[in-house]
Amino acid sequence: MQNSSADSEHAGASALTAESRLKLMEMQFALTERVARIGYWRHEAGAKYPTWSPGFYDILEVSPDDVRPNARWLMDRMHPDDRDEVVQKFTNAMTKGVPFYYRTRGFRQNGEIHIYDTHGDIERGADGEIAAIIGVVQDVTAKVQAEEALKERESAYRFMTDEASDIIARHSAEGRLIFVSPAVKRIFGFEPQEMFGRTAFEGAHPDDIAGIKAALADARKRNETGSYVYRVKHRDGHFVWLETHLRFVSDPKTGAFEGAISVSRDVTVRKQFEEELQGARERAEAASHTKSRFLANMSHELRTPLNAIIGFSDILSREMFGPLGNDRYGEYAKLINESGAMLLDLINDLLDMSKIEAGKFELHYEDVLVCESITASIRLVSRRAEEKNVTISANIEPEGLTLRADQRAFKQIMLNLLSNAVKFTPANGKIEVDAIGRGPGLRLTVRDTGIGIPSDVLPRLARPFEQASNDPSRAHGGSGLGLALVKSLTQLHGGEFTIRSKEGHGTEVTVTLPLTPLKSGRAA
């Protein structure tokens, strides 16, 4: 009797334990369904209604209290375009006894559409007959949306890659091409797949490989985009100039090197233009040197007879060896002397400019008394100024100011500025000269009440052979070298040249020179 009671208690405990295990398994299964967003249904043969798992209710967002498991209810909630396929899959599974799969769209209570994947199979009894049909359902809405977004991005990237005029390429960690955009066909004549496995150096011009390697090594070291221009052989055998920008790529999590991405552009036309431009520049420089040598040689050749003309005409005008007999002869001798002196000035300007352009003009520094040089320069142009009743005034501060400069060049600066001012100042006008020494520099300004210069002419006026106007009614003679020489000689002294003018209101030219020599500059 006692043994029977013990056996009963043991059996009850075992049953309780089995029931607990079953409940635990059900809880775990329900949790798995919720986490995986899955559920299942089972419809036994001959049963009026199917069975739905808790997870199936969850993904449908309904409760067992609200909806009884019902195939018709599911079909009503299904998108109309998907119903025929589901019926066909069920019919096929039932008649052939095979597994089935379908994807459907279902309407939620709030009107949203969710997407479900259903995988099903047929369950057979011991007699081999169909006992039930089972389906496992998963809500794949988020997955499908992510896949569609990914496809859209891939489609956009593919479109840009396919339509890009530049070659877009992906290189493996070993440096070999694993992707090339279709532009390679247009630029090199190769199909994209023909380029797979090639390195950046295959097909490159031998003379350019060292430059490519150096650019890549520097980019890898600095972790920056590398850029290089090189030649690559076309399928037909000729070389195409390519400009490539390449960026190395590493795994963002591990930092492991994964390869590189490059974008390459055909710059053959640009390189040809650059080469033509360089050739034109070299030819222009050669022509400029030839011109400078010609001007220098011709200037020397012309100065010899001019010195004789000026010297002998001076003797005649002074009647050093007796009277000429007629007053007109004296006047003619004087005109010959003045014309010769003017021509010599022009030749000297040409010679100096050719030397400056050739970089052979040498400055000989000495102490220059500013007051004395300015006074002498004014005296040389005073006769022409008096003929036009143009007054010239000078203000020099301090009076005994001394400048360390090339005396001839400084006098040439003054004479050119004053000659220009006299030339372009109408009758009864005035010219003011200010020479102010302050701090380490001399500020020299020549200001006139002349005809002025149009604003569009100012930027080019200090270039050699440039004049403010080509209109014969306004032309005042000269070579157009005056201001160019002033600017060049000023820069050779390490100074600055500026010009301000307004048409009809006169011109102001300012030259700033260091009182003591700086390192010699070059004229621009």
The length of the chain in residues reads 524
Residue ranges of the chain that CATH labels 3.30.565.10: 362-514
Instruction: Check if the beta carbon of residue 226 is closer than 8 Å to that of residue 214.
Output: no
Q: Spelled out in words, what is the top-level CATH class assigned to the domain 277-355?
A: mainly alpha
pLDDT given at position 471: 39
pLDDT tens digits, one per residue of 303-353:
778 888 888 888 888 888 888 878 888 888 888 887 887 788 777 777 777
Amino acid at 242: L
Angle at 392 between CA 390 and CA 393, to 5 degrees: 145
Instruction: Check if the beta carbon of residue 488 is closer than 8 Å to that of residue 353.
Output: yes
Cα dihedral 410, 412, 414, 416, rounded to 10, equals -150
At residue 235, the 3 state secondary structure works out as coil
Instruction: Check if the beta carbon of residue 70 is closer than 8 Å to that of residue 166.
Output: no
Annotate 440-476 with three-state secondary structure: CEEEEEEEECCCCCCCCCHHHCCCCCCCCCCCCCCCC
Instruction: Check if the beta carbon of residue 140 is closer than 8 Å to that of residue 116.
Output: yes
In CATH, the architecture of 164-266 is 2-Layer Sandwich (3.30)
Phi/psi at 325 (nearest 5 deg)?
Answer: 100, -30
Q: Which long-range contacts (CB under 8 A, 24 or more apart) does 279-288 make?
A: 288/357
pLDDT given at position 432: 94
pLDDT given at position 474: 38
Token pair for residue 468? 């403010």
Per-residue pLDDT at 119 exceeds 90: yes
Q: Taking Cα atoms as reference points, which of 471, 502, 468, 503 lies closest to residue 484? A: 468
Distance CA 482, CA 349 (A): 8
pLDDT band at 161 (very low <50, low <70, confident <90, very high): low
- Report the CATH fold assignment for 32-145: Beta-Lactamase (3.30.450)
pLDDT given at position 469: 46
- Find out if CATH 3.30.230.10 is the number for domain 362-514: no
pLDDT tens digits, one per residue of 437-482:
988 899 999 999 988 888 777 766 666 555 444 433 334 444 557 7
pLDDT tens digits, one per residue of 213-262:
898 888 888 888 889 999 999 999 999 999 999 999 888 888 888 899 99
pLDDT given at position 156: 64
Amino acid at 407: Q
Amino acid at 297: N
pLDDT tens digits, one per residue of 36-46:
788 989 999 88
Per-residue pLDDT at 19 exceeds 90: no
**Candidate from 28-37, 225-234, 402-411, 492-501 with smallest mean pLDDT:** 28-37
| Average pLDDT value for residue range 284-290 | 81
Distance CA 258, CA 117 (A): 36
Residue ranges of the chain that CATH labels 3.30.450.20: 32-145, 164-266
| Average pLDDT value for residue range 397-420 | 90
At residue 52, the 3 state secondary structure works out as strand
pLDDT tens digits, one per residue of 42-89:
999 888 889 998 888 888 888 888 888 888 888 888 999 999 999 999
Q: Which long-range contacts (CB under 8 A, 24 or more apart) does 222-229 make?
A: 223/248, 229/267, 229/271
